[in-house]
Amino acid sequence: MIEQRYPPLSKMFWESSQRSTRVFQLLLVIVGITVPNLVAIYLFTAANSCRSQSQDSSLSHRGYLNGAQRWPNQLNETQEDLRKTQKELIKVRQELEASLQVIQGIAANLLLSTSQHQGSEVSASNTWPPQLSSLAKELQEFVAVRKLPLGYNPSLNADIIVGAMGFGCFNPNLKPDIAKYMHYRVGADCPDDESLAQKLLLHGCEPLPRRRCFARMPSDPEEPLELPTSLWESPSDDSILWTAYSCKSFDCLNARAKKKVFADCLDCFDLQGRERRRWVMPESNVDFSIADVLAFKQGTLRIGLDIGGGTGSFAARMWEHNVTIVTSTLNLGGPFNNFIGHRGIVPLFLTISQRFPFFDNTLDIVHSMHVLSNWIPTESLEFTFYDIDRILRPGGLLWIDRFFCKSPQLNSTYAPMIERLGYKKLRWETAAKLDRGPQLQEYYLSALLEKPLKRGAVL
Ligand X SMILES: *[C@@H]1O[C@H](CO)[C@@H](O)[C@H](O)[C@H]1NC(C)=O
**Contacts with ligand X, residue ranges (CB under 6 A):** 76, 80, 321-322, 407, 410-411
Residue 403 forms beta bridges with which residues?
445
Cα gap 327→403, rounded to integer Å: 18
Helices (H), 72-203: 75-114, 137-143, 175-181, 194-202
Which are the contacts of 159, defined by CB distance < 8 A and separation ≥ 6?
Answer: 123, 124, 147, 148, 151, 152, 153
Cβ–Cβ under 8 Å, residues 338 and 235: yes
Name the pairing type of β-strands 324-328 and 346-348.
Answer: parallel
Q: Which residue's CB is nearer to ligand X, number 80 or number 292?
A: 80
Residues in the chain: 459
Neighbours of 2 (CB within 10 A): 14
CB of 207 to ligand X, least distance (A): 35
Cα gap 313→154, rounded to integer Å: 24
Cβ–Cβ under 8 Å, residues 314 and 274: no
CB of 299 to ligand X, least distance (A): 8
Strand order in the sheet with 442-450: 346-348, 324-328, 303-307, 363-369, 392-406, 442-450, 424-433
CB of 243 to ligand X, least distance (A): 39
Cα gap 206→34, rounded to integer Å: 20
Q: Which residue's CB is nearer to ligand X, number 158 or number 447?
A: 447
